[in-house]
């Protein structure tokens, strides 16, 4: 096991996770008199809110991700380590990192920022994951793209409608923003991009089921915007099934059970089920909680104090989805603001300051894309929908993307799709070279 120690007398800040929170924390420390090490299990910063557009061929994976080293290339006090943090020693103030070759290294820290995010939750039904991928990583998006595009391709080769029907049925579990967005995009893909490309099937007949346990979609939005979103989904042809739990998923169908008596059970034949029905803490959250002797909440999140540090450990900060404070939502803006705040507190303390400012979240609202020229945006008392909501949604997401190249590339891809109705990012991969070189059977 190798050990990385701080080669300077400056305080060493280790940031675990280069997502929205971790990246903002690192950037906030650019001018601070500290050394920063960013540890991430991947090489790229990912903008998760647009993963569903990568999964449905609207954007490439490169449009929503940027190399971490590139984003921090001008920050001279920052370095990057490719590896997965798997242990914390709070007394020695070290973390253990497993590198891609499975060797390990130990990194000393004076301040630790944990920003590793969450993962898809199957609520005790982890067997569903094999047949119903979630939407948290680039691997998820590419796997979903493979399933969606592959379903249309297989349906094209089948001789009769009864055999084709399960392949042209797509079930989405969860009626929050991600579920609504992916359901709408599958219908748009079928009715616009693929409409004239097949000879045996009619892609516009694709059936998209949105399965949700609540009494309305987008429950975090106002009832008015929820109703507007539902109306747009209906116009698109998405079939919304409310008040049901998904109780079984197989390779060939999905089962729902109604929440109300008499708990009716319905099975829908489908070859493609996607899961957006909740998140939970990653295993590293438990590692951190045990090391710091704190109790996680029901979702596995770690409670933090007003300044986002952990009680009894003023040198450790938890930001983003993994932190629990004042019932803050697990959205991008909370992570970004939390990361910036943690960086600001560390910079202040490292410079000799003693007072720590409490974190104050500024709620800029929520947004969800339903279909082209249709989105809903809620900020304070202002509710936008339809075309105005769509424009506002686009501006917000472009502003949040990391790097000018990603912003320009995304705008160009969106513009090309609007003008031509085509989606060029539809290549499918097999996951790894060994799988790719094997026959299908």
Residues identified as active-site: 181
C-alpha span between 398 and 63 (Å, rounded): 11
Residues 6+ apart with CB under 8 A from 415: none
Token pair listed for 152:
């249309």
How would you classify residue 410: left for phi > 0, otherwise alpha for psi between -120 and 50, otherwise beta?
alpha
For strand 169-173 and strand 272-275, is the pairing parallel, antiparallel, or unpaired? parallel
Residue closest to 89 by CA, chosen among 97, 79, 81: 97
SS3 (DSSP) at 151: helix
b/e burial code for range 204-217 (CB count within 10 A of at least 16 → b): eebbbbbbbbeebb
**What is the residue whose two structure tokens read 């809110």?**
49
C-alpha span between 274 and 80 (Å, rounded): 33
Let me know: does 183 contact 283? Beta carbons within 8 Å.
Answer: no
C-alpha span between 94 and 334 (Å, rounded): 27
C-alpha span between 99 and 425 (Å, rounded): 31
Token pair listed for 185:
């995009």
Helix (H) and strand (E) counts for the chain? 12, 26
Let me know: does 189 contact 423? Beta carbons within 8 Å.
Answer: yes
Token pair listed for 144:
């979903």
Cα distances (angstroms) measured from residue 356 to each of 124, 245, 333, 343, 346: 39, 44, 21, 12, 9
Residue closest to 113 by CA, chosen among 288, 279, 318: 318
Question: In what order do the strands lie in the sheet containing 35-40?
Answer: 78-82, 35-40, 12-16, 111-114, 313-318, 309-310
**What is the residue whose two structure tokens read 């999140």?**
301
SS3 (DSSP) at 235: helix
Token pair listed for 131:
């047949």
SS3 (DSSP) at 422: coil
Token pair listed for 47:
């903008």
């Amino acid at each position: 096991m190798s050990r990385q120690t701080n080669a300077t007398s400056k305080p060493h800040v280790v940031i675990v996770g280069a997502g929205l929170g971790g990246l903002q924390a690192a950037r906030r420390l650019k001018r601070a008199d500290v050394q920063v090490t960013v540890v991430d299990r991947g090489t790229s910063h990912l903008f998760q809110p647009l993963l569903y557009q990568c999964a449905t061929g609207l954007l490439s994976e490169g449009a929503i991700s940027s190399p971490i080293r590139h984003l921090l290339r001008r920050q001279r006090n920052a370095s990057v380590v490719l590896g997965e943090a798997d242990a914390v020693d709070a007394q020695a103030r070290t973390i253990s990192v497993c590198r891609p070759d499975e060797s390990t290294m130990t990194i000393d820290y004076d301040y630790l920022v944990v920003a590793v995010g969450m993962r898809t939750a199957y609520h005790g039904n982890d067997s569903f994951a094999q047949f119903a991928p979630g939407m948290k990583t680039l691997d998820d998006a590419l796997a979903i793209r493979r399933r969606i595009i592959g379903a249309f391709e297989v349906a094209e080769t089948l001789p009769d409608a009864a055999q084709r029907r399960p392949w042209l049925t797509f079930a989405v579990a969860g009626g929050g923003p991600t579920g609504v967005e992916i359901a709408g995009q599958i219908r748009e893909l079928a009715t616009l991009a693929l409409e004239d490309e097949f000879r045996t099937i009619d892609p516009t007949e694709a059936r998209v089921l949105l399965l949700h346990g609540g009494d309305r979609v987008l429950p975090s939005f106002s009832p008015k915007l929820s109703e507007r979103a539902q109306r747009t989904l209906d116009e698109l042809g998405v079939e919304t099934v409310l008040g049901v739990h998904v109780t079984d998923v197989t390779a060939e169908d999905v089962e729902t059970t109604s929440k109300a008596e008499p708990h009716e059970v319905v099975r829908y034949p489908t070859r493609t089920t996607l899961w957006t029905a909740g998140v939970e803490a990653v295993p590293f959250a438990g590692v951190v909680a045990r090391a710091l002797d704190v109790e996680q909440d029901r979702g596995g999140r770690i409670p933090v104090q007003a300044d986002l540090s952990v009680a009894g450990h003023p040198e450790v900060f938890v930001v983003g989805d993994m932190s629990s404070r004042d019932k803050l939502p697990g959205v991008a803006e909370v992570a970004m603001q939390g990361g910036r705040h943690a960086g600001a507190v560390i910079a202040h303390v490292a410079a000799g300051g003693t007072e720590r400012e409490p974190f104050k979240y500024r709620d800029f609202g929520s947004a969800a894309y339903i279909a082209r020229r249709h989105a809903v945006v809620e900020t304070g008392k202002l509710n936008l929908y339809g075309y105005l909501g769509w424009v506002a949604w686009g501006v917000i997401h472009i502003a949040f993307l990391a790097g000018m190249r990603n912003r320009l590339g995304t705008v160009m891809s969106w513009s090309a799709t609007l003008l031509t109705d085509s989606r060029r990012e539809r290549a499918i991969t097999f996951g790894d070279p060994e799988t790719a070189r094997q026959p299908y059977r």
